[in-house]
């Protein structure tokens, strides 16, 4: 039986040619395979790349600067959105050991005195990320958090993205699903809650640079479960990837059967989060290859 491979991308893919973007993913995958003396095990026509990057960009005001302003200028539209940002950023602050002294240095003593319920505190965390976390960008964290929130809470965005990705997974055809960043949230949501009424057959679900272990995101995608349509789940991350933050282990994503985690990826991209740095990893590529040829 011919299998299918579906790549599900993350954010910041607007203004890009979907064909060229798919080619970039395939080329990175090939580089990873070459490290184990393997070749592409599937026809490129059997690799699907549902592209929603421009749609997401257009539906979130069509302007990255405006999206970032939700955090940078404290203009969240509702209390729930602000609470979501607060929870994500506080977890980020603890994970990166950004203490009050570091916050005071970048944001000022008055901000620290007023405390974490103020927007300036959250803005200070982003400034501290820029200052103290090599290769990380506070604006990128703000945008990634905003996109996850919009996908989970905005029905128009949620439904349009889901519709496009759903079409790429053929019912009754074994499909290896490889997702990255925001795409892992999209893929998990679909595989766990949709799965085409039991018609999807996923021998391997792969999540790369996934933020699913972050508490606020974990709560947003409940119920937590191993998607019934997926035989195995493989998660890989670079521990320096500030979007992923945590492995999907029993402490952060306790499911049965458990998720196999690889936390020693040496992602060579500047922010340690780029998809090429994950697909070029020999173990990641070999695991995808094995699921396709088995």
- The answer on 287 and 159 residing in a single domain is yes
- The answer on 96 and 45 residing in a single domain is no
Among the three residues 117, 151, 185, which one is the final residue of a domain in this structure?
Answer: 151
Q: What's residue 77's pLDDT?
A: 61
- The answer on 288 and 166 residing in a single domain is yes
- The answer on 18 and 100 residing in a single domain is no
pLDDT band at 73 (very low <50, low <70, confident <90, very high): low
Q: With helix as H, strand as E and coil as C, how does 178-231 read?
A: EEECHHHHHHHHHHHHCHHHHCCEECCEEEECCCCCCHHHHHHCCCCCCCCCEC
- The answer on 91 and 191 residing in a single domain is no
Q: What's residue 97's pLDDT?
A: 95
- The answer on 115 and 23 residing in a single domain is no
**Does 126 have pLDDT greater than 80?**
yes
Query: pLDDT tens for residues 230-242?
Result: 999 999 999 999 9
225: domain range?
A: 4-59+154-293
- The answer on 212 and 141 residing in a single domain is no
Under DSSP, the state recorded for 274 is -
Work out whether the CA dihedral 165, 193, 57, 88 comes out positive or negative.
Answer: negative
* Count of domains observed in the chain: 2
Q: What's residue 251's pLDDT?
A: 95
Question: Which residue from 293, 177, 184, 291 is spatially nearest to 237, judged by alpha carbons?
Answer: 184
Under DSSP, the state recorded for 80 is H
Angle between helices 182-193 and 138-153 (to 10 degrees): 20
- The answer on 18 and 85 residing in a single domain is no
Higher pLDDT, 159 or 52: 159
**Does 114 have pLDDT greater than 50?**
yes
- The answer on 247 and 160 residing in a single domain is yes
- Cα(155)–Cα(20) distance, integer angstroms: 29
194, two tokens = 């949709």
- CATH at residue 219: 3.40.50.1820
- The answer on 161 and 187 residing in a single domain is yes
pLDDT above 70: percentage of residues in the chain = 88
Query: pLDDT tens for residues 273-289?
Result: 999 999 999 999 999 99
Among the three residues 151, 170, 186, which one is the final residue of a domain in this structure?
Answer: 151
Angle at the Cα of 27 from the Cα atoms of 22 and 29, rounded to 5 degrees: 95
- The answer on 249 and 166 residing in a single domain is yes
Question: Which residue from 238, 246, 233 is spatially nearest to 274, judged by alpha carbons?
Answer: 238
Query: pLDDT tens for residues 194-242?
Result: 765 568 999 999 999 999 999 999 999 999 999 999 999 999 999 999 9
pLDDT band at 65 (very low <50, low <70, confident <90, very high): very low
Among the three residues 151, 183, 198, which one is the final residue of a domain in this structure?
Answer: 151
- The answer on 174 and 282 residing in a single domain is yes
């Amino acid at each position: 039986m011919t299998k299918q491979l579906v790549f599900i991308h993350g954010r910041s893919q607007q203004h890009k040619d979907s064909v060229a973007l798919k080619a970039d993913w395939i080329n990175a995958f090939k580089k990873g395979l070459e490290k184990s003396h393997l070749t592409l095990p599937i026809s490129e026509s059997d690799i699907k790349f549902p592209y929603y990057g421009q749609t997401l960009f257009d539906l979130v005001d069509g302007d990255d600067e405006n999206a970032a302003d939700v955090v940078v200028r404290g203009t969240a539209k509702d209390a729930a959105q602000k609470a979501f940002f607060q929870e994500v950023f506080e977890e980020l602050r603890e994970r990166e050991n950004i203490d009050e002294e570091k916050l005071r240095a970048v944001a000022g003593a008055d901000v620290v005195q007023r405390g974490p319920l103020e927007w300036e505190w959250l803005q200070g965390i982003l400034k501290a990320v820029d200052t103290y976390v090599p290769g990380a960008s506070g604006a990128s964290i703000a945008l990634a958090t905003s996109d996850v929130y919009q996908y989970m809470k905005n029905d128009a965005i949620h439904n349009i993205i889901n519709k496009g990705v759903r079409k790429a997974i053929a019912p009754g055809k074994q499909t290896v699903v490889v997702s990255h960043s925001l795409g892992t949230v999209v893929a998990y949501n679909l595989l766990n809650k949709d799965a085409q009424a039991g018609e999807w057959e996923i021998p391997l679900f792969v999540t790369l640079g996934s933020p699913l272990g972050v508490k606020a995101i974990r709560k947003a995608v409940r119920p937590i479960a191993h998607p019934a349509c997926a035989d195995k789940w493989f998660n890989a991350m670079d521990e320096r990837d500030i979007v992923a933050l945590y492995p999907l282990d029993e402490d952060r994503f306790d499911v049965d059967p458990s998720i196999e985690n690889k936390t020693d990826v040496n992602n060579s991209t500047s922010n340690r989060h780029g998809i090429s740095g994950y697909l070029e990893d020999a173990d990641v590529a070999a695991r995808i290859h094995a699921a396709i040829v088995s």
